[in-house]
Protein backbone atom coordinates (compact mmCIF):
# COMPACT_ATOMS: atom_id res chain seq x y z
CA UNK A 1 0.00 0.00 0.00
CA UNK A 2 1.83 3.10 -1.25
CA UNK A 3 -0.42 5.70 0.42
CA UNK A 4 0.33 9.15 -1.01
CA UNK A 5 3.04 9.48 -3.62
CA UNK A 6 4.45 12.76 -4.93
CA UNK A 7 6.55 13.22 -8.03
CA UNK A 8 9.10 14.62 -8.50
CA UNK A 9 10.94 14.76 -5.18
CA UNK A 10 13.30 17.54 -6.22
CA UNK A 11 13.23 20.13 -8.98
CA UNK A 12 15.08 23.28 -9.93
CA UNK A 13 13.30 25.72 -12.22
CA UNK A 14 14.32 28.95 -13.85
CA UNK A 15 12.13 31.99 -13.32
CA UNK A 16 9.26 31.94 -15.81
CA UNK A 17 9.33 28.20 -16.46
CA UNK A 18 6.29 26.04 -15.85
CA UNK A 19 5.91 22.67 -14.22
CA UNK A 20 3.37 20.25 -12.81
CA UNK A 21 3.61 18.35 -9.55
CA UNK A 22 1.73 15.08 -9.38
CA UNK A 23 0.11 13.61 -6.31
CA UNK A 24 -1.36 10.12 -6.36
CA UNK A 25 -3.19 8.28 -3.59
CA UNK A 26 -4.38 4.71 -3.54
CA UNK A 27 -6.65 4.87 -0.48
CA UNK A 28 -9.83 5.93 -2.28
CA UNK A 29 -9.84 9.20 -0.37
CA UNK A 30 -12.28 11.91 -1.35
CA UNK A 31 -10.31 14.97 -0.21
CA UNK A 32 -6.89 15.99 -1.46
CA UNK A 33 -4.75 18.97 -0.55
CA UNK A 34 -1.65 20.86 -1.67
CA UNK A 35 0.41 22.72 0.94
CA UNK A 36 3.62 24.65 0.88
CA UNK A 37 5.98 24.63 3.84
CA UNK A 38 8.28 27.55 4.51
CA UNK A 39 10.48 28.08 7.61
CA UNK A 40 8.54 29.60 10.49
CA UNK A 41 5.25 29.58 8.60
CA UNK A 42 4.06 26.03 9.02
CA UNK A 43 2.03 24.46 6.24
CA UNK A 44 -0.11 26.83 4.22
CA UNK A 45 -2.97 25.48 2.15
CA UNK A 46 -2.68 26.30 -1.55
CA UNK A 47 -5.66 24.49 -3.08
CA UNK A 48 -7.77 21.52 -2.17
CA UNK A 49 -10.37 19.21 -3.64
CA UNK A 50 -13.37 17.57 -2.00
CA UNK A 51 -13.92 15.08 -4.78
CA UNK A 52 -13.22 14.18 -8.40
CA UNK A 53 -13.75 17.15 -10.67
CA UNK A 54 -13.80 19.72 -7.84
CA UNK A 55 -11.20 22.22 -6.68
CA UNK A 56 -11.19 25.11 -4.20
CA UNK A 57 -8.78 27.84 -3.19
CA UNK A 58 -6.91 27.71 0.07
CA UNK A 59 -4.92 30.37 1.91
CA UNK A 60 -2.25 31.06 -0.73
CA UNK A 61 -3.62 30.13 -4.19
CA UNK A 62 -2.06 32.88 -6.32
CA UNK A 63 0.37 31.64 -8.95
CA UNK A 64 -0.87 28.05 -8.76
CA UNK A 65 -3.53 26.01 -10.53
CA UNK A 66 -4.83 22.53 -9.80
CA UNK A 67 -6.85 19.80 -11.42
CA UNK A 68 -8.57 16.66 -10.14
CA UNK A 69 -9.64 14.79 -13.25
CA UNK A 70 -9.34 11.41 -11.56
CA UNK A 71 -10.17 10.68 -7.94
CA UNK A 72 -6.74 9.28 -7.19
CA UNK A 73 -4.71 12.14 -8.70
CA UNK A 74 -4.34 15.80 -7.79
CA UNK A 75 -2.07 17.95 -9.96
CA UNK A 76 -0.49 21.24 -8.93
CA UNK A 77 0.68 23.52 -11.72
CA UNK A 78 2.95 26.52 -11.76
CA UNK A 79 2.43 28.44 -15.00
CA UNK A 80 5.29 30.93 -14.59
CA UNK A 81 7.55 30.11 -11.67
CA UNK A 82 8.86 32.88 -9.42
CA UNK A 83 11.62 32.77 -6.77
CA UNK A 84 8.92 33.33 -4.12
CA UNK A 85 7.60 29.87 -5.00
CA UNK A 86 10.78 28.23 -3.75
CA UNK A 87 9.45 25.94 -1.05
CA UNK A 88 8.74 22.38 -0.01
CA UNK A 89 5.39 21.22 -1.33
CA UNK A 90 3.33 18.55 0.38
CA UNK A 91 0.32 16.70 -0.88
CA UNK A 92 -2.14 15.13 1.53
CA UNK A 93 -5.40 13.23 1.39
CA UNK A 94 -8.26 12.50 3.78
CA UNK A 95 -11.06 9.99 3.52
CA UNK A 96 -13.59 12.77 4.03
CA UNK A 97 -13.50 16.09 5.83
CA UNK A 98 -12.53 15.97 9.51
CA UNK A 99 -10.52 12.76 9.23
CA UNK A 100 -6.81 12.02 9.49
CA UNK A 101 -4.58 13.40 6.76
CA UNK A 102 -2.03 11.20 5.05
CA UNK A 103 0.97 12.98 3.58
CA UNK A 104 3.37 12.43 0.75
CA UNK A 105 7.12 12.77 1.28
CA UNK A 106 7.28 16.26 -0.19
CA UNK A 107 8.73 17.97 -3.25
CA UNK A 108 11.60 20.41 -2.78
CA UNK A 109 11.29 23.09 -5.47
CA UNK A 110 13.89 25.77 -6.06
CA UNK A 111 13.22 28.62 -8.47
CA UNK A 112 16.33 30.52 -9.56
Partner 1 sequence: AQSVTQLGSHVSVSEGALVLLRCNYSSSVPPYLFWYVQYPNQGLQLLLKYTSAATLVKGINGFEAEFKKSETSFHLTKPSAHMSDAAEYFCAVSDPDMRFGAGTRLTVKP
Which residues fall within 8 angstroms of residue 96, CB to CB, at 6 or more apart?
A: 30, 31
Secondary structure of residue 84 in the 3-state scheme: helix
Nearest to 13 by CA among 69, 73, 89, 91: 89
* 109 is a site residue for partner 1 (CB under 8 A): no
List the interface residues with partner 1, window 1-20 (CB under 8 A): 4
Q: What backbone torsions phi and psi does residue 84 show, to the nearest 5 degrees?
A: -65, -10
Measured from the CB of residue 70, what is the shortest distance to partner 1 in angstroms? Answer: 20
* Minimum CB distance to partner 1 smaller for 19 or for 101: 101
52 near partner 1, rule: CB under 8 A:
no
- Mark the segment that binds partner 1 (CB under 8 A) among 19-27, 32-40, 60-68, 72-80: 32-40
Amino acid sequence: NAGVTQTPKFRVLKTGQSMTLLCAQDMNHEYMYWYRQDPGMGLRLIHYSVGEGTTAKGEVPDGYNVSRLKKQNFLLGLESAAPSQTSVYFCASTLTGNTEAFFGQGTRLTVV
